[in-house]
Amino acid sequence: MYLSSLLSVPVRSSITIHLKNDMYAKVLSLPVGYFSDQRKGDIMSRMTNDAALVESSIINTMEGMIKDPVSVISYLVAMVAISPSLAMFLLILLPATAFIIGRISRTLKNKAMQHH
């Protein structure tokens, strides 16, 4: 988690700066009549909230892309360190079990679709 946070801070700053600069440029390019219908505070509030939402979405995706593979690799290394034979057994058994369960579920789904 620390590594993903460490890597995401510069990206978060860059995204925020570019997004806010683009929104500012867009607001400056709008005609004056656009601002007569709404209060300026409402527009600023929407812009800030939208920028925060986009920023958090991108950062959460990036953290997941960094954190999840590292977690899987560390769990596999720990499993092999604790018991190599059990880890190999699980690495062989899990895909076989997933294939069997997938096959059964497809068969049941096809039978259910035929009865409807």
State the Cα–Cα distance between residues 19 and 27, nearest whole angstrom: 12
Closest CA to 40 of 21, 48, 52: 48
CA atoms within 13 A on the CB side of 48: 6
Using 50, 70 and 90 to split pLDDT, how confident is the model at 96?
very high
For the stretch 45-94, pLDDT in tens is 888 888 888 888 887 887 777 778 878 888 889 999 999 998 888 888 98
CA 1 to each of CA 5, 64, 114: distance values in angstroms, whole numbers, following the listed order: 6, 9, 48
State the Cα–Cα distance between residues 11 and 76, nearest whole angstrom: 29
State the Cα–Cα distance between residues 116 and 111, nearest whole angstrom: 9
The pLDDT of residue 106: 92
- Which of 30-39, 42-51, 96-105 has maximum average pLDDT? 96-105
Percent with pLDDT over 70 in the chain: 89
Q: Which residue has the tokens 């867009």?
A: 26
Between 17 and 12, the higher pLDDT residue: 17
Using 50, 70 and 90 to split pLDDT, how confident is the model at 37?
low
The pLDDT of residue 82: 94
State the Cα–Cα distance between residues 64 and 17, nearest whole angstrom: 22
The pLDDT of residue 1: 66
Q: What is the pTM of this model?
A: 0.51
